[in-house]
Every structure is written in C-alpha cells, then in structure tokens.
Structure 1
Amino acid sequence: MTTLAPASDPGLAPTGAPHVVSHSHRDVNGGWLRPAVFGAMDGLVSNFALLSGVVGGSAPTGAVVLTGLAGLAAGAFSMAAGEYVSVASQRDMVRREVDKERRALAAEPEAELAELAAMFQARGVEPELARQVAEQLHRDPEQALTVHTREELGIDPDDQPSPMVAAVSSFLCFAVGAFLPLLPFLLGATSLLPALVLALIGLFACGAVVARVTARSWWFSGLRQLVLGGAAAGLTFLLGRLIGTGIS
C-alpha cells in the first residue's frame, strides 16, 4: 500500500511536491493465521488434556503413548478436514452473493449506480462528486462488481482465504502442538511432569509468536494461552483421576 506525505528533505523534491512513502501490510485474509493458531493451541491443549486424563486414570505408559498417538492423528486429520470444509463453504457463500450482485448490476444498472453514489455520500462525499465517481466505476462492469461487493458485503471477492492453505496450516500446527506433550512419554517418561512443562512452554511460546502479527504484547498473549490451556488440562486430569478411581 502506498501513501503520500510531504517531502521531509527539500533537496529530494521541489518545495510543496509530494514525497512517495511506501509501506507494506501483512496478509490478513490469506486464511492461514486463524487455523494455524487454533490448530497449535488445540493440539497442545487437547492432546495434553487427553494424556492428563489417561495418566490421571493410572493407565500404563504404553496405553498413554498409544492414546497420545491416536489423539494426534485423529485430531490433525479432523482439524484439517473441518478447516477445509468450513473455508470452502465460506467461499461458496461469498461466490453466491457475488453472483447475486452481478445479476442485480445487469438487471438494474441505474438503480445500482444510484445506490453506490448514495453510499459514497453517506461517507461524506459531496453528492455531485459521488455521482461522478459511481459513474466512472460503472464503466467497467467487473470493477463495479468489486466495489459494490466491498461496500455492501464488506468483503473482497478477489481476496478470499484458501481452503487448502487453511487445511494444511491446521494439520501441521495441530500435529506439532499435539506432539510436544507426547514426546516425554515416547522417550520413556512415566510421570506427567515433563509433559506438563513442555506443554506449558509450548502454550506460552505459541501465544508469544502470535503476538508478532497482532497488537498484543508477547507476554500478555503468551500468558493468555498458558492460563487457558493449563486450566483445560488441569480439569481433564481431575476428571480422569475421578473416573479412574471410580472404575478401579
């Protein structure tokens, strides 16, 4: 995205001439951040909570490892499938609404033009200028469709998230998150403490990394992930302990 600002050095541009200042933004519609964050946290929390419940029920180490591997595989594939279907469904819904707008532009071009001019006026543009801008945009049907879709639906029809990107991001991040609390048991651990330490570190690190692409501080985001994930795992451990005691 490019903005204009007055030149700060008179030697670089004539007095009063605009100086071009370039800056870029992160991709906020690519469809990878939400499934990646959700996948990583869900993998950490759900698999650690699952392991906590099994350990709380006094299951042998072999059963804990098998449970953790099954939870990792089932969760990763389930998350990927769910993300793919949900994002694809969202894209289909957007496509349907865009087609509806395209038909309206073809059937009632003058009414749509007046509608666009009215929207510009509502944003503070003078009526005559708003009409001129709307007429100029309507000269190109595809440009008119894009502007109407953005103004009326609040979406960009040409910048929709990818179902495949969402599915792959979710799968990989869930698998990595779910593997962390399982790792100590694969290396021969018999208590929950090493898995707890790894899971809490992973939760905090996940939150801290997410803070780099958000407005939150790294420590706030990290602590938020840690507290929520730790609470879920703790409750599951207590539930597993109660159920295991009742069964035995």
Structure 2
Amino acid sequence: MFGVMDGLVSNFALIAGMAGGVAGGSAASGTLVLAGLAGLAAGAFSMAVGEYTSVASQAELARAELAVEQRELAESPEVEQAELVQLYVARGVEVGLAREVARQLSQNAEQALVAHAREELGVDPSDLPSPLLAAVTSFLAFVTGALVPVLPYLLGATTVLPTVLVSAAGMFVAGTIVSRVTARPWWWTGSRQLLLGGAAAALTYGVGAAVGTGLG
C-alpha cells in the first residue's frame, strides 16, 4: 500500500508540475500522458532496482553472519552452547532447563545453527527474504498507484481537473486502507494522506508555474 501511495503521489505531483508549467495549466493532454507514463516507468523501475538491491544486501549480510556462526559452532561447540544457555536465561528460562534445552539443540548441527541464528541474529536461515519477489512487488505497487493520475487523460480528459479529482479520491482511499494496521480512525488516515499528497502536488504545481514563467 505504501508503494501504491508513493506512485500515486509522485506521479500526480509530476503531472501537476507539468500542467503548472504552461499558462493556465492548459498543457496538451498528449504531453501530460507522456510525462505521466515516463514518470510511471522511471519510478517503477527505480523502486524495483532499489528494493532488489536493499533486500539482496540484507540477505547477503545474513548469509555471511550465518557462515560465521556455523564456523564458530564447528570450532567451539561448548562455547556456543554456553552462549545459548545465557540467551535463554536472559529471556527468563530457569538455568537448569536452559542448559537442557541448549544441550539437546546442540546435538544436531542444523538445529543448533537455527537456534543461534534466531536468538543472536534475529533471522531464520530457511526464510530469508527474496530480492526478486521484493522487486516485483514494489514494481507492481508503484505502477498501480502511478497509473491513477494518468487514467483520465488516457480516457480522453483535456484538463487537469479530472486527474485532480481521481487522484484525490485515490489518496483518500489509500489512506483509509492504512487505518487497518494503525490505531487511527479511517477518516484520520484518509484525510492525512489526502492533505499531504495534495500539498506535494500543489507545491510541485507552483514550482512548475514559476519555472514555466521564467522559461517563457
């Protein structure tokens, strides 16, 4: 949902800036469609590349830390078992029980690695994030949001007003959906997203108008 909002706000602001760059905001619809689709493609690919790099780096770091942990388990199993005992005790487990659990887990190298990875590194070796999945998800989410401001022009609109109305409705709806994972009421999150996104578009329109006037 945050990727959708990112695409919606950034592309709406881009179109608003382009519209503000000409007198009276009467830029040709073809120009705005081109700008909107270019913004959609550029933003979506940028999001995908950034997310892929970020998640891939996290996964590579986790694998490097797991390799170190695996080597330490092979070279100093007693030390690692003692560390596991301390970790369980710190979590409130009785000392005797913590020693027994650590002893049993340490009998199996794979189980011991999983236990140390979860307790020390906070990762699950069998559930590392997928860079490709993250990239594709980010790409599709951004495209979904960025397409909203362009749709009115693709359907024949000749002024920026339909895009303003559709984008405003999209931002409010996206904000209300976010309320499902927060303690705020739907009208609050919807209004907040509408105001912030609208402010971004208005400021970009102003920049476009100022630059357009200067170039003219």
After TM superposition, the score normalised by the length of structure 1 is: 0.80
Task: Tell me how far 1:213 sits from its aligned partner.
Answer: 4.8
Secondary structure of residue in 2 paired with 1:157: coil
Task: Tell me how far 1:214 sits from its aligned partner.
Answer: 5.2
Secondary structure of residue in 2 paired with 1:207: helix
Aligned length: 212
Gaps of 5+ in 1: 1-36
Alpha-carbon distance in 2 for matches of 1:45, 1:117 = 50
Of 219, 224, 246, which aligns to 2:192?
224
Of 20, 27, 49, which aligns to 1:81?
49
| Structure 1 position 155 matched with structure 2 position 123 | yes
Which residue in the other structure is 1:203 paired with? Answer: 171
Q: More helix per residue: 1 or 2?
A: 2
Gaps of 5+ in 2: none
Deviates more, 1:120-129 or 1:185-194: 185-194
Task: Tell me how far 1:128 sits from its aligned partner.
Answer: 1.5
Alpha-carbon distance in 1 for matches of 2:109, 2:152 = 60
Alpha-carbon distance in 2 for matches of 1:41, 1:212 = 15
| Structure 1 position 40 matched with structure 2 position 8 | no
Task: Tell me how far 1:151 sits from its aligned partner.
Answer: 1.0
Q: CA RMSD in A?
A: 1.7
Deviations 1:30-77 (A, max 9, x none): xxxxxxx23211110111110000000013222111111111112112
Q: More strand per residue: 1 or 2?
A: 1
Higher relative contact order (CA 8 A, sep 6+): 2
Which residue in the other structure is 1:128 paired with? Answer: 96
| Structure 1 position 140 matched with structure 2 position 99 | no
Which residue in the other structure is 1:50 paired with? Answer: 14
Alpha-carbon distance in 2 for matches of 1:98, 1:114 = 18
Task: Tell me how far 1:212 sits from its aligned partner.
Answer: 3.4
Which residue in the other structure is 2:75 paired with? Answer: 107
Which residue in the other structure is 1:169 paired with? Answer: 137
Deviates more, 1:200-209 or 1:110-119: 200-209
After TM superposition, the score normalised by the length of structure 2 is: 0.91
Amino acid at match of 1:52: A
Deviates more, 1:142-151 or 1:218-227: 218-227
Alpha-carbon distance in 1 for matches of 2:119, 2:76 = 17
Which residue in the other structure is 1:187 paired with? Answer: 155
